[in-house]
Structure 1
Amino acid sequence: MCIGIPMQVRVVEAGYAQCAGRGESRRVTTALVGPVAEGDWLLVFLNDARERIDAQRAAEVNAMLDLVLNGAAGTGMSESVNFSLPSSLSHADLARMAGSA
């Protein structure tokens, strides 16, 4: 399973973007997502931008990553989730989220 990290574009270079997210900065390739602009949100895996996402989706992924890290650290899941988990979504909602609708 791959886990993408939401990162926001800070500086655009030809074929690359300097991005920041989850307390780190990375230079990522943008070949898979095409041209980007400062402020865009990208889902990054292995220093490649894999998908364009909006700020709301970035917040959802970050919240889920926080829940996973808290669970792995044994600190519990005290935060409430402010979005629908995929397991509670309808087939149509999942298709829409995946860009298939």
Structure 2
Amino acid sequence: MCLGLPMTVVEGDDFSALCEWHGERRRVSTLLIGRQTRGARLLVHIDSAMRVLDDAEAEAIDRALDGLAAAAEGRAFEHLFADLIDREPELPEHLRK
């Protein structure tokens, strides 16, 4: 399974950015999305920034990844998916008619 990580730009140039996620830093390509400023949140997949995220979406992805890790380790994870409890699943906007 491949996952995108919600990374935060530390510094960048026209072609790449140094990004951080949970204390890990790596240089990622920004050729698909253009130059980004410090603090921008990016969805990074295989060291390439795929798109810019708003803070709410980045936090939701972060919680989901933390929840998957907690579940895999046998720890409580339900609190990390509080926005999904007691509601019907919804299609993403781009898949709705």
2:7 aligned residue:
7
> Shift of residue 82 of structure 1?
4.0
Give the RMSD, CA atoms, in angstroms: 2.3
Question: What's the offset of the Cα at 1:2?
Answer: 2.5
Normalised TM-score (structure 1): 0.80
Q: Which amino acid aligns with 1:36?
A: Q
Overall identity of the aligned pairs, in %: 28
In structure 1, list runs of 5 or more residues that go unmatched. none
Q: Distance in 2 between matches of 1:82 and 1:23?
A: 25
Counterpart of 2:93 in structure 1 is 95
**Displacement over 3 Å in runs of 4+:** none
Distance in 1, matches of 2:32 and 2:7, equals 15
**What is the aligned length?**
95
* Unmatched 5+ stretches in structure 2: none
- 1:77 deviates by 1.8
Matched with 1:63 is 63
Listed one character per residue, the Cα deviations across residues 9-67 of structure 1 (whole Å, up to 9, x for unaligned) are 11012300011112211110001111211111101111110111011111000000011
Letter in 1 for 2:79: E
Tell me the residue number matched to 2:17.
Answer: 17
Provide the C-alpha distance between the structure 2 equivalents of 1:75 and 1:23, rounded to a whole number of angstroms: 22
Question: What is the TM-score normalised by the length of structure 2?
Answer: 0.83
1:84 CA drift (Å):
4.0
